[in-house]
Structure 1
Amino acid sequence: MQHQLSQGSTIRVRQFANLFVILISSAAALGGLLYGYDTAVISGAIGFLGEFYGLSTFMQGFVTAAILIGGIIGVLVSGFLSDWLGRKKVLAMAAVLFALAAVGSGFTNTVTWLVVARIVGGIGIGMASVLSTTYISEVSPPYIRGRLSSIYQLATVIGIAATFFVNAAVAGSGTHAWDVTTGWRWMLSLGAIPAIVFFLVLFVVPESPRWLQKSGREQEAFQVLEKINGREIAEYELGEIKRSLSQERNTSFSQLFKPGLRAALMIGIMLAIFQQFVGINAIMYYAPTIFQSAGMGQNAQFTQTVVVGIINFLFTLLAIWLIDKIGRKALLLIGAGCMTLFLLLIGGTFYFHVTHGPLILIFILGYVASFAISMGPVVWVMIPEIFPNHSRARAASLATVFLWAADWVVTQFFPTMLHSIGGAVSFWIFMFLCIVAFVFVLKFVPETKDKSLEEIERFWLKN
């Protein structure tokens, strides 16, 4: 039976849903603060850590990337744990793990325990990265799913921008010697604050209605749906969830490897890899190191890193406004093209030794802005969006594993690249990968704007 609503009823339901769903989606998206905080805080701390422990460039990369090893573990266990315990409880668990890891990182006196603490924190971030977006997709009405799914990336860049300010404030609170012995401890330990905030706001978030129904708690599932959209739509949505869960039980993950849907899996994985291989976290994790390589002093390094965070935040807001207007594919192509240009120019500043002055900062800001309106939020929106209903959570988890693995590769080896082959070649490698990403998106990625999830699924089955 087709679901019908009067125009007045539709307007009333949408206004009500907008407020409540935005609130609970924003609360769940605060998991992005954890990823954002660590991305930015390690960029400020790694130089001091390197001096304190006498780390080689390889070990600096290993310490930085350790959290990504934990992230891969967190992504892999998130599906099982959330099916067993529920989305909300596992998100709370993620917050606790990150808080403990933040404090542990600040109090450690050996590289071994620092790495262990960062892996534990990574497990929390990995679980949150999958389940925050999964939760939002499971509670969001279709007409605002794209924008609500982007809130996770917005929370991430807010965490990055705020933490750049924290790094600059801590680094400026004492002498260089104090920063080497104590400053980095404050930087890492303060990560417990966003984790505690995330943990507390989860108390006002209801459990996912999809998980409740899957667990046999139909009345609770209906109550959540009714609070989101009212009784009339809640009855319809509950019926849709029941049909979807029935199909999911009868469909194996192997269906994704069949012709048609196999293309969706390939595109999801490749978008995840390209999001990291275009080099964004080489900038975010190592911004002060890059500015140091360009010959800038410590105060200038941290000040310019703050500017990077602000630009990242502002252009992510622009992406959220544009994503449902000009489309996912269009934003990816614009972003990849602009990133190619700015990476060419960044490499040129190193090649021609013109790194002093404002040029390198301007080019890095252009690159970050290009990423923030494209690969940053769009990939997080498209990964769950392109997969069929019956395998969405599992397929999105698989693609996210590749994203974290690609992030680890870049994070682990960029310091060695910068030291051994120099800034010019390092950034030109990323430029080449941007060109490859542009061609891939142009030839293989479909536009999903204004299409329902069922229309996207039928598209794969026809091809």
Structure 2
Amino acid sequence: MKNKTTYIVMITLVATLGGLLFGYDTAVISGAEGSLQTYFADNLGLSPLVHGLTVSSALIGCIIGGLLSGYFASRMGRKYTLILAALLFLFSALGSAYPEFLFFTAGEPTTALLITFNVYRIIGGIGVGLASAVAPMYIGEIAPPHLRGRLVSLNQFAIIFGMLVVYFVNWGIARGETMAWVNEIGWRYMFASEAIPALLFLLLLFTVPESPRYLVSRNQEDKAMNVLLKTYSTTMAKATMFEIKQSFDQRKEKLFAYGKMIIVIGILLSVFQQFVGINVALYYAPRIFESMGAARDASLFQTIVMGLVNVIFTIIAIVTVDKFGRKPLLIIGSIGMTIGMFGVAGLAFFEQIGIATLVFIIIYTASFMMSWGPVVWVLLSEIFPNKIRGQALAIAVAAQWAANYFISSTYPMMMEVSGGMTYGFYGVMSILSAVFVWKLIPETKGKSLEELETILKKSSSVREVVKRAQ
């Protein structure tokens, strides 16, 4: 059994490289966004809104990738969808680093070049959107119930670890160099560095099996059984195969066969995860720290400190999610985020930006990383029944990236109006997220995916779902 657990963990670690690239791709912009403003927006005389849209352009691709993830996961399989995502990551990393390739002159920014750069970022975003939906889906379908929460949470750990790695990479590239060099050349190295983990992800994916639940959906039951025997005991493998076959043997289900509210819950989980403002802290961290008086090198180093805190508190979530439960972690996290964001809002309102701001940002991000960061992905991999999982998860993930794009692209414009109002808005969203979880989220720990499906099918309303899942 120990060998089987080791095998499951190894498969999970390969899949979580998709999460690492998700984090790497979304956070690489934090070190480069100031240089992009100088290279493109300032040279071309563009507005803060255009710069905000450029910083967030990958999120357009994330929305597209999220919407397409269900189609590709159902048609190509989970494994080959992740392979497609790896190829998109690799192409985007090289294209974003040198958008002048073939058609433009290096060092001469133009509007057409800016559009081309954004196209490359959108392509990488499609990869992120695919990986963000399919990696936790794949892990959730491979993992046994007693390990599922921890293993799916490893994907969030990989996301945060990818962010931490790129914080170090960005800091290492900029350290000791002139600002002029960073604005001209350094930002290119930041984007190009993503090609290394993308290539590793691509190669390792050929060593992992396909999801047994996808294989059953394609009438490849012998292959599915072989995968289950490698990850479960013989008795458990047979019982799980019986449950999976039973869930697919019934008539084909429509998206709302289990009620509209389960789809609404998935969408709201995704939207609240973004409306609390986490990606503002991640994308614009160096700029926030510079507003506190830190030099450019120091601000990049402070993002490393924040990244280390994020990793530590994500580990706390991994350790506790299968013991403590999903729902309590989300509520505790919402309370911590509320304290952190209202603290930052108060200091911004009175223009008292200093070390206290860093403390409140760390309280906020730590609270998110031990709760809404990993637990939302765990819930999204659990709450949707087998027959609608691909399309339902695609909708939820697309909603998540749309909310992310809205919050991230409007941040520079909102900050021009009022910093206190901006951070206060995220604090209000944190309060509402706690109320949402308290009233509408069922507890899912310790139940198989098929057990949860039975609970949902027997329940006619969301309140009944919550009641049955306690």
Normalised by the length of structure 1, the TM-score is 0.92
2:96 maps to which of 66, 87, 105: 105
Q: What displacement does 1:372 show?
A: 0.5
Q: Deviations over 1:2-56 (max 9, x none)?
A: xxxxxxxxxxx3x233111111012111101111112221011010110011243
1:154 to 153, 157, 174: 157
Matches within 5 A, 1:298-447: 298-356=296-354, 358-418=355-415, 420-447=416-443
- Which digits, 9 at most, give the CA deviation of each residue in 1:295-349, with x for residues without a partner? 3221221111111111011100011111122211111111111111111111122
Note if 1:254 corresponds to 2:256: yes
Distance 1:88 1:213 in 2: 14
Alignment-derived partner of residue 74 in structure 1 = 65
3-state SS of the aligned residue for 1:75?
helix
2:198 aligned residue (195, 198, 201): 195
| Contact 1:102/1:121, CA 8 A, preserved across alignment | yes
Amino acid at match of 1:427: Y
- What letter matches 1:108 in structure 2? P
Q: Which amino acid in structure 2 is aligned with residue 88 of structure 1?
A: K
Partner of 2:238: 235
Q: Which amino acid aligns with 2:22?
A: Y
Report deviation, 1:383: 1.5
Q: Take 1:91 and 1:392, find their aligned partners in 2: how far apart are those partners?
A: 16
Correspondence for 1:46:
33
For residues 340-365 of structure 1, what are the alpha-carbon distances to aligned partners after superposition, in whole Å with 9 as ceiling and x for unaligned? 11111111222222213x21111111
Amino acid in structure 1 at the alignment position of 2:36: L
Can you give the 5+ residue segments of structure 1 that lack an aligned partner in the other structure?
1-12
CA distance in 2, matches of 1:213, 1:459: 22
Q: Which amino acid aligns with 1:368?
A: T
Residue 319 of structure 1 aligns with an amino acid whose one-letter code is A
Read off the aligned partner of 1:417 and give its amino acid letter: M
How far apart, CA to CA, are the structure 2 residues paired with 1:58 and 1:338? 30
SS at match of 2:171: helix
Q: Which residue of 2 aligns with 1:3?
A: none
Corresponding pairs, count = 443
Q: CA deviation at 1:103?
A: 0.6
Residue 136 of structure 1 and its aligned partner are, at CA, apart by 0.8
How far did residue 123 of structure 1 move? 0.8
Question: Is 1:181 paired with 2:170?
Answer: no
Aligned-residue offset at 1:219: 2.3
Q: Give per-residue Cα distances to partners, 1:79-103, cap 9 Å, x unaligned.
A: 2223222221121111111111111
The RMSD of aligned alpha carbons is: 1.6
Deviation string, structure 1 residues 188-246 (Cα, Å, up to 9, x no partner): 11111111111121122111122223223332222212211244433333232222222
SS of residue paired to 1:255: coil
CA apart distance, 1:131: 1.1
Equivalent residues of 1:294, 1:350 under 8 A apart: no
Q: Does the 8 A contact of 1:102 with 1:191 survive in 2? A: yes
Percentage of identical aligned residues: 43
| Farther-moved stretch of structure 1 (224-233 vs 437-446) | 224-233
Is the contact between residue 27 and residue 283 of structure 2 (CA under 8 Å) also seen in structure 1? yes
In structure 1, distance between residues paired with 2:252 and 2:188: 51
Residue of structure 1 in register with 2:4 after alignment: 17
Q: Does 1:26 align with 2:13?
A: yes
Give the distance between the partners of 2:203 and 2:374, measured in 1 at CA: 25
Cα distance in 2 for residues equivalent to 1:368 and 1:237 = 38
C-alpha contact (below 8 Å) 2:23/2:161 kept by paired residues: yes
Instruction: Please say if 1:213 is aligned against 2:216.
Output: yes
Higher mean C-alpha displacement, 453-462 vs 64-73: 453-462
Contact conserved, 2:73 with 2:81, CA < 8 A, in 1?
yes
Shift of 1:254: 2.8
One-letter code aligned to 1:407: N
Shift of 1:459: 4.3
CA distance in 2, matches of 1:166, 1:434: 31
Counterparts in 2 of 1:458 and 1:231: CA distance versus 1, 3 Å: closer
Task: Determine helix, strand or coil for the equivalent of 1:450.
Answer: coil
Q: TM-score, normalised by structure 2?
A: 0.91
Residue 322 of structure 2 aligns with an amino acid whose one-letter code is D
Contact 2:247 2:450 in 1 (8 A): no
* Corresponding residue for residue 450 of structure 1: 446
Aligned residue in 1 for 2:104: none
Q: CA deviation at 1:277?
A: 0.3
Q: Measure how far apart 1:182 and its partner are.
A: 0.4
Is 1:226 paired with 2:229? yes
Unaligned residue ranges in structure 2 (runs of 5+):
101-112, 465-470
Q: Is the 8 A contact 1:48 1:184 kept in 2?
A: yes
Q: Write the letter of the residue equivalent to 1:285.
A: Y
Report the Cα distance in structure 1 between the residues aligned to 2:223 and 2:448, rounded to whole angstroms: 26
| Shift in Å, 1:142 | 1.1
Change (3 A) 1:453 1:85: closer
